[in-house]
Structures are given as C-alpha cells and as structure tokens.
Amino acid sequence: MKDIANLALAGHEPLFDSILPVGQLYSPSKERFHSVFHDLFDRRYYTNHGKLAQELERRLEERLEVRNAVVVTNATLGLSLSCKALGLPPQGKVIVPAFTFAATVQALTWAGLEPVFCDISNKSHNLDPQKVAALLEQHDVCAILGVHLWGNPCDIEQLQTLADSKGIPLFFDAAHAIACRYHGKPIGNFGACEVFSFHATKIMNATEGGCITTNDDELAERLRNLRSSYGRRKNVKTPIDGYGRFSEAQAAFGLLSLEDLSRRCDENCQKMALYHKKLSCIPGIHCISPAPEENMNYQYVVLEIDEKEFGLSRDALQKLLEAENVIARRYFVPGMHHCPPYETLFPEFATALPVTDALCTKVLQLPSGAPVSMDAVSRICECIAFVQANSADIKRTYFA
C-alpha cells in the first residue's frame, strides 16, 4: 500500500488506472445482443410495445411470479403513472421517506401530489411503521409509498395493516429490489403495485427502463392504457392521456439482462461477502448487512462511517477514495426534506427526521458490479484500512 505522502490526493498516481463507479453496468456480449436484436431491422418495428417488449413482460411475470408486468420508459415515470392509475386525488398527501433518490419524491409531485416525509428505521433504512402510524393521525393522507432501499424489503406486513386501517393504497418504489424476496415471495407482489428500475446502473439493465408489477388486473389495464401512446390504445373505450413507451432496443437489452440476473446476484454476493470480511474489522466502519441471504440482489455495498472511531469523516474518506479512482457515493444525501424545492415548500419537516439526518452524515456506498473485480475489492479494502490506520497523520496533512 501507499505511503501517506504519495496518496493520489497529493497528485500521485491513483491506485486504479480507470474509475470504479458504484453502478452495476453489466452488459451482454455484442454477439448475444445481436442475436436478440437482429431481426428488428427487417421488422422495422422499433418501439410502442413491440414483440420484444411483450416477451420481456411475459418473462418478468414468470420470474416475479406476478400476474402483470407493465414495462415503461423508466422507474420515475412508472411511479408517476402508478399514482395516476391508482386514482390518487390532485394535491393529495402521500407518506414517503426522505431518505431516497430524488425520483421517488419527484414522481409524486409530477403527479400533482404532496409528500409527507416520514423518518426511517436506523437498522433497515426503510420507513419506520411507528412513525408512519403517527403521521397517519396528523395528516389527511391518500396513500403510502414505501421504498425497498438497497433491495432490503420494507416492513410490508405492518405497512399494509396501517394502509388498510385507513382504507388507502400502499405501493412501493422497488427500483433497487429486483430478485429480492419478502417472506419467501418475490418483491413485485406486494401493495397495490411495485415499480422496478432497469437503469444501466441497476442489476437488471435495459440501458434505461422500468416496470410496474401488480396482481390487480384492473389496475394493470389502467396502467397499460396510460403507458400507451398518449392514450391512443386500440379498443379502449375511455382513453386517458398517458406516456411511457418502451423501445425494442431496451427490451432486447433487458431480456438478456434478465437471463443473467441470478448469475449477477451471485457475483455481487461474493463481492459483498469479501467487502464485509475485510472491512468489518476496521474501527469506525459498520457494514450494512442485507436481510437473510435468499432475499437480496447485493447490488449496493453500504457502509456507515463513525467519524470518531474511524479518525476521519465520511466526506474525507470519500475524497481520498475518489482521488484513487474509487468513486464511492453518498446516496442519498441530503435527505429530500432538505432539497429544493421541498425544503421551502415543506419547512415543517426540517427537524422532524432525526434518524434520516443522522444517517446522512455517515452513509457511503462502495463500487461493485461489472467494473469491479474481486481483486479490486481487496485493494479498495486495503486502501480503506490504510487510511484508517493512518487517519491522524492523514488528517493533519490533508484535512487540517
């Protein structure tokens, strides 16, 4: 390992020649892509829910053991379409965590709804049912939107009981949660509907894309109407305005990614196990352990850094790693209740989410996925161990 004088932060050679991002970025071989995609040029049917998109939906329904899979442009749009299909009233209030990607909350506001930010459990990083219960008493809420963060399922049973007690829908942002299970059942089957992301950085990669799953056939029909070309679906008596097309190129990529999904989960699992083995003995580092093994896709390697014990802040560690071409991320900092425009629109949440605020000072994600070999995982861990062991000198030299 390096000497503290030749860290890349001081302008020396980085540990890695090219950057290691957090995204999964798996792709099929060019040959396999060609084998799925080649007849598209003869068919000249490029988008609008073509043959490949329909095939992908069938395969997703099989894999997720769910009655309906509706592919859409991306998860953000999928969430907005879900709000519309569920008939949530304009200006209605929806309980949602602030510790999530901006898309979760933006999808609500794009659908004309208002977020009611709820704090999370510091163990699961997901909605805390007790805090949801309290908010249900304080606000006139029309729905609950849970997020299965890092692929770790929410406390679905308790949330469903709360939603049922008020007669409102519960639905899920499952952007991180493909191939994850809750009590043995695939995510995709819970609440009124669930929304997955197939963005390139996700373990299921359609380059861009998303999917809404539901066991409610009527809801699925409304979603398909919304998704179709601006409400112009054939045989629809009362077309509604909608958008959310999915192209054949996305579907081709997605079909291959779905074929590879189990293998990718296994690869991620091995990388996460190595990370945890090497990092858990370092003072000040707490590795977030996923739910029981069968439930996870292992795509996010999440740490909490205790500045006092580690000797340096999370942000200092991130800077040091970035200089070494290890692009660790601070998902999802700051919490959405501190982001514009929500911080000014809803100032009542500024100090209402202590667990979220505390987590936002500590959380860090490390690279995994295709660009990261097992050897790279070892070297990243050694680098972090070195930084911790020399934290006092590094702090004095680089962060005084």
Q: In the complex, which residues of this chain contact ligand T4K (CB under 6 A)?
A: 21-23, 25, 74-76, 100-101, 103-104, 147, 173, 175-176, 197, 199-201, 210, 327, 331
Q: What is the rounded CA–CA span in Å between residue 177 and residue 24?
A: 13
Residue with Cβ nearer ligand T4K (295 or 391): 295
Minimum CB distance to ligand T4K, residue 378 (Å): 21
Nearer to ligand T4K, 156 or 175 (CB): 175
Closer to ligand T4K by CB, 4 or 223: give it: 223
What is the token pair recorded at 42? 């003869």
Which two three-digit tokens encode residue 281?
A: 């003995």
Q: Which is nearer to ligand T4K, 9 or 327 (CB)?
A: 327
How far apart are alpha carbons 54 and 248 in whole angstroms? 9
**Which 3-state string (H, E, C) describes 72-119?**
ECCHHHHHHHHHHHCCCCCCCEEEEECCCCHHHHHHHHHCCCEEEEEC
Q: Which of 301, 394 has the CB closer to ligand T4K?
A: 301
Give the residue with the Cβ less far from ligand T4K, 18 or 138: 18
11-26: b (≥16 Cβ within 10 Å) or e: eeebbbeeebbbbbeb
Least Cβ distance, residue 315 to ligand T4K (angstroms):
16
Smallest distance from the beta carbon of 200 to ligand T4K, in angstroms?
4
In the complex, the smallest distance separating the C-beta of residue 389 from ligand T4K, rounded to whole angstroms, is 28
DSSP string, 171-218: EEE-TT-TT-EETTEETTSSSS-EEEE--TTSSS--SS-EEEEES-HH
Least distance in angstroms from the C-beta of 298 to ligand T4K: 15
User: Mind giving me the DSSP string for 322-355?
Assistant: HHTTB--B-TT-S-GGGSTTHHHH-GGGTTT-HH
Q: C-beta of 397: minimal distance to ligand T4K in Å?
A: 27
The smaller minimum CB distance to ligand T4K, of residues 75 and 394, is found at 75
Identify whether the C-beta of residue 227 lies closer than 8 Å to the C-beta of residue 74.
no
What's 18's DSSP letter? S
Shortest CB 264 distance to ligand T4K, Å: 16
Q: How many CB atoms lie within 10 A of CB 397?
A: 14
Instruction: Answer yes or no: are the C-beta atoms of 358 and 122 closer than 8 Å.
Output: yes
